[in-house]
Amino acid sequence: MTVAVKLELRSISKAYQMNGQWKDVVRDIHMQVGEKEFVSVVGPSGSGKSTLFHIIGGLAEPSAGKVLIDGADVTGKRGLISYMPQNDSLFPWRTIVDNVVLSQEIAGGRAAKVKARREAAEWLQRVGLSGYEHSYPHELSGGMRQRVSFLRALLGPGEVMCLDEPFGALDALTRMEMQQWLLRIWEETRRTVLFVTHSIEEALLLSDRVYVLGGRPSGIADVVDVPFGRPREESVTASPEFQQLKRRIYETLSAGSPVLSR
């Protein structure tokens, strides 16, 4: 079955001026995320992963190329995606439910806010945070705050969710728990997700496809289609096929592999 392309990066390049000279960070990036797909981007530090998110979200203009959503050119336009950063970025003076509904509150009027609060309360119960609606961020653990941050993105108006290393600041055990939590929630909602991570294992566990960044400036060094079915369990990480794919990506990153030709 053919999957409709929801998000497309077409020939994206980005250069910054450093010490009086222009330096490319990413060059000629081609990437597609199908509707209801979970796609990850893996690359070393400084490879431009966050730069791509800034371009997708309209916070930065590409030096060349286009961003398309549902086939329409949305390059430079803001407010079309839901974004979850590495730190939870919750407002400390707002309660948990008020943090969750923030994006809907900005996008709609009073009626929309009432509906959003009701929906947020239902979701907080579904993700194990019932009873914390009127708590403040400092009263929650790191993992709980990340759940709130994810719900804010999930319930936002943007049809594409961009998750930027959302579990990177968590301890190893909490990170594993959050991966399983995210798998379960995503399989219930099937939102279109583009996920940035440094963790090869995390990318393979969660994704339908993994784009590997390599080279300098960064381009697409490999594209890995993940063959494991859904619903997906953490036990898949012990399979020989999973380990082979993990080794493939690791070797691509370690070798500083050149970008793929189109």
pLDDT higher than 80, residue 104: no
Q: 72 and 187, same structural domain?
A: yes
Q: 232 and 194, same structural domain?
A: yes
Give the integer Cα–Cα distance in Å for 143 and 251: 31
Q: 134 and 49, same structural domain?
A: no
Q: 98 and 69, same structural domain?
A: no
Give the integer Cα–Cα distance in Å for 207 and 214: 19
Q: How confident is the model at residue 261 (pLDDT cuts 50, 70, 90)?
A: very low
pLDDT higher than 80, residue 109: no
pLDDT above 90 as % of the chain = 48
Task: Please state the rounded mean pLDDT for residues 150-170.
Answer: 85
Give the integer Cα–Cα distance in Å for 245 and 24: 29
pLDDT score recorded for residue 70: 94
pLDDT score recorded for residue 94: 93
pLDDT score recorded for residue 256: 62
| pLDDT higher at 125 or 224 | 224
pLDDT in tens, 64-78: 999 999 999 999 998
Q: 65 and 112, same structural domain?
A: no
**What's the structural domain count of the chain?**
2
Q: End of a domain among 158, 176, 194?
A: 158
A 10 A CB-CB count for 82 gives: 23
Domain residue limits at 237: 1-78+159-262
Instruction: Report whether 72 contacts 5 (CB < 8 A).
Output: no
Q: 258 and 183, same structural domain?
A: yes
Q: End of a domain among 135, 158, 181?
A: 158
| pLDDT higher at 56 or 118 | 56
Q: What is the pTM of this model?
A: 0.88
Q: 178 and 246, same structural domain?
A: yes
Q: 167 and 63, same structural domain?
A: yes
Q: 134 and 100, same structural domain?
A: yes
Q: End of a domain among 158, 184, 210?
A: 158
Q: How confident is the model at residue 30 (pLDDT cuts 50, 70, 90)?
A: very high
CA neighbor of 86 nearest in space, from 50, 140, 138, 48:
50
Q: 62 and 7, same structural domain?
A: yes
Q: 111 and 152, same structural domain?
A: yes
Residue with tokens 């099937």: 190
Q: 173 and 261, same structural domain?
A: yes
pLDDT in tens, 164-208: 888 877 888 888 888 888 888 888 889 999 999 989 999 999 999
CATH code for the domain of 11? 3.40.50.300
